[in-house]
Structure formats: structure tokens, C-alpha cells
Structure 1
């Protein structure tokens, strides 16, 4: 899961629980996860390409902008 890429579908930012769609290779599908910014204070608007930095089961990820 860590290192997977995805796209923000619900704004991620301080004080917000966002949503990202991430490609899960084991299942060969894209799935929705609750998301928090990996760097506190970062804001990631809808449509931003992201990479998963940390995964906390069952459906929470910490993400950073890709690139």
C-alpha cells in the first residue's frame, strides 16, 4: 500500500478528513480511502495526484503530492 499512487476526490487539509482513490495492486482495482496530509498543514485540492506515505488499517492513508 505504501508507495501506491492515487488522486484526491475530496479535499485533504488541516482539520479535514479527505478522500483519495488509490490503485490497490493486490486487488487490481481502485478503492476509496480516508486521507490525511502526510505533512501537517498541507492542503491538497480535488484532482491532485498523490502518493501514499503511511497506511493505517482498515481504510486510512496519509498522502503527499506526487512529484
Structure 2
């Protein structure tokens, strides 16, 4: 799946998913009509944000009795 953002003022349906204006959707790169929407500038491919690494918490400050 590839992420695309809708750059128009209207709602777009591609690959069975709806994309509201300025919203990002994950679409199969082989979805019918996707290449035409990209060529027309309706959708633009974007990179998915990488998940952040889990943060380590400092639990050594707890007092023991």
C-alpha cells in the first residue's frame, strides 16, 4: 500500500476508498484509475511517517523501602 494525498477541493474515490480534500489514504499501487489521478495532479504520493521507537522511561528513581 502506498500513501496518497488529495490535492483538490473535491472528494476522490480510488481503489474503493474515499479521500477528502487534503487527506491521506493508503491505496494499492495497482488500483484502477490511480495513475490517471496522479498524472492529473489530483493525488500526490507521500511518504508514510515512520513509527517512532518506543521511548525508554527512567524507573530507577523509585525509592525502595
State the TM-score, normalizing by the size of structure 1.
0.32
Choose between structure 1 and 2: higher helix proportion. 2
Choose between structure 1 and 2: higher strand proportion. 1
